[in-house]
């Protein structure tokens, strides 16, 4: 069944008032792929009604980033939502979300300035601002985000805790291509040779994860070996960062315990990120 599609705050409020029982929201920027669909299935298991938002948020793109060319595939997105049994799609225009230049926005704080935030200044402020607006508009019981964007998920959890936002935040596992490449709306920018080079991200993470028991230095060394090779490939990979951080704070970790190994790189003009959770052992 085709979902109910609402575009304005008034239409959304009317649809929201019809919802009985629990509501789960999956916020997206569209160009939906199997990763998004897996979050919709998780939403279906978590609540009686499933809502998806589709909005390419200008606030979270920096100057020179791909806002203008970001893929917009609304008709096929709606077909995908229908196939997944999504009940409600909120697809606001820029004017609906930002009728005026916003004066008051969410500040992501120090955690928003490290790792991906250091590579993309202002990105997390813009992302948190739109997520808080979507949560206030849709008022879901649970909101579901992908672990693929691990720092985004950690920052949303932190915002919800710090600002007492009445919603449960759940993470969903990263969906990958059979060869390991994490699905991303940006993968469609990649040429065949660029995609081959881009595979180094997931390979490096796997090499790092395989060394987890040997401790942090072994993890980063194993991952770096794979990335070093990709930096001299044709086309080359341009590494932005490879870090081993605490999953909740994104502060560097040096000791044993839970960690996220996160990597970001550019291949051609395409920005790719990926990460893996691991349990670090002691240094031998």
What span, in angstroms and rounded, lies between the C-alpha atoms of 111 and 51?
29
Residues 171 and 207: their CA atoms lie apart, in Å, by 24
Nearer to ligand AMP, 243 or 280 (CB): 243
Of the pair 16, 36, the CB lying nearest ligand AMP is at 36
With residue 82 as reference, give the H or E element that holds it: helix 74-83
Position among 16, 120, 133, 148 found at the interface with ligand AMP (CB under 6 A): 148
Gap between the Cα atoms of 77 and 54, Å rounded: 9
Nearest distance in Å: CB 57, ligand AMP = 8
36 binds ligand AMP per the rule CB under 6 A = yes
Q: Is 229 annotated as a binding residue?
A: no
Closest separation in Å from C-beta 284 to ligand AMP: 34
Binding to ligand AMP by CB under 6 A, coded x per residue (else -) over 128-147, reads -----------------xx-
Distance CA 135, CA 171 (A): 16
Give me the least distance between CB of 273 and ligand AMP, in Å please.
10
CB of 145 to ligand AMP, least distance (A): 4
Q: Determine the Cα–Cα distance for residues 3 and 43; give it in Å rounded to an integer.
A: 15
In whole angstroms, what is the distance from residue 115 CA to residue 149 CA?
12
Q: Which is nearer to ligand AMP, 39 or 218 (CB)?
A: 39
Q: Residue 187's closest CA among 93, 268, 278, 80?
A: 268
185 binds ligand AMP (CB under 6 A): yes
Residue 3 as a binder of ligand AMP (CB under 6 A): the answer is no
Q: Is 56 annotated as a binding residue?
A: no
Structure tokens at 145: 């985000």
Residue 62 to residues 43, 130, 172, 215, Cα–Cα distance (Å): 30, 15, 26, 36
Among 53, 108, 151, 184, binds ligand AMP (CB under 6 A): 184
Q: Which residues contact 192 (CB under 8 A, 6 or more apart)?
A: none
Q: Is 271 labeled as catalytic in the residue annotation?
A: no
Residues 164-183 that bind ligand AMP (CB under 6 A): 172, 174-175, 182-183
Q: Which is nearer to ligand AMP, 28 or 197 (CB)?
A: 28
Decide: is 245 part of the binding site for ligand AMP (CB under 6 A): no
Per annotation, catalytic residue among 36, 123, 271, 284? 36
Min CB(20)–ligand AMP separation in Å:
26
Widest distance between CA atoms in the chain: 61
Strand 270-280 to strand 23-28: parallel, antiparallel, or no bridges (unpaired)? unpaired
Residue labelled with tokens 């008034």:
10
Query: Contact 90/98 with Cβ under 8 angstroms?
Result: no
Nearer to ligand AMP, 26 or 278 (CB): 26
Rounded CA-CA distance 223/1 in Å is 45
- Residues designated catalytic: 36
Positions touching ligand AMP (CB under 6 A) are 28-29, 35-36, 38-39, 145-146, 148-149, 172, 174-175, 182-185
Which residues fall in the annotated binding site for ATP? 29-36, 146-149, 175, 183-186
């Amino acid at each position: 069944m085709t979902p109910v599609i609402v575009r304005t705050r008034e239409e959304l409020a009317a649809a929201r008032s019809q919802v009985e029982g629990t509501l789960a929201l999956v916020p997206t920027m569209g160009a939906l792929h199997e990763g998004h669909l897996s979050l919709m299935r998780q939403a279906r298991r978590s609540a009686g009604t499933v809502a998806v938002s589709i909005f390419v948020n200008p606030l979270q793109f920096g100057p020179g980033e791909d806002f203008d060319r970001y893929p917009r595939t609304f008709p096929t997105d709606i077909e995908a939502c229908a196939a997944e049994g999504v009940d409600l799609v909120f697809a606001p225009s820029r004017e609906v979300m930002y009728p005026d230049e916003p004066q008051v926005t969410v500040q992501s704080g120090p955690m928003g300035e490290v790792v991906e935030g250091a590579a993309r200044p202002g990105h997390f402020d813009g992302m948190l601002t739109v997520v808080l607006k979507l949560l206030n508009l849709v008022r879901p019981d649970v909101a579901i985000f992908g672990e693929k964007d691990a720092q985004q998920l950690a920052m949303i959890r932190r915002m919800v805790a710090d600002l007492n936002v009445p919603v449960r935040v759940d993470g969903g596992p990263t969906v990958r291509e059979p060869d390991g490449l994490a699905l991303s709306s940006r993968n469609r920018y990649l040429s065949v040779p660029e995609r081959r080079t881009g595979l180094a991200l997931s390979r490096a993470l796997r090499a790092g994860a395989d060394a987890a028991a040997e401790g942090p230095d072994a993890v980063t060394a194993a991952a770096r070996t794979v990335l070093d090779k990709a930096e001299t490939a044709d086309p080359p990979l341009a590494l932005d960062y490879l870090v081993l951080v605490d999953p909740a704070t994104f502060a560097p970790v040096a000791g044993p315990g839970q960690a996220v190994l996160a990597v970001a790189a550019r291949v051609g003009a395409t920005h790719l990120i990926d990460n893996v959770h691991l349990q670090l052992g002691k240094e031998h």
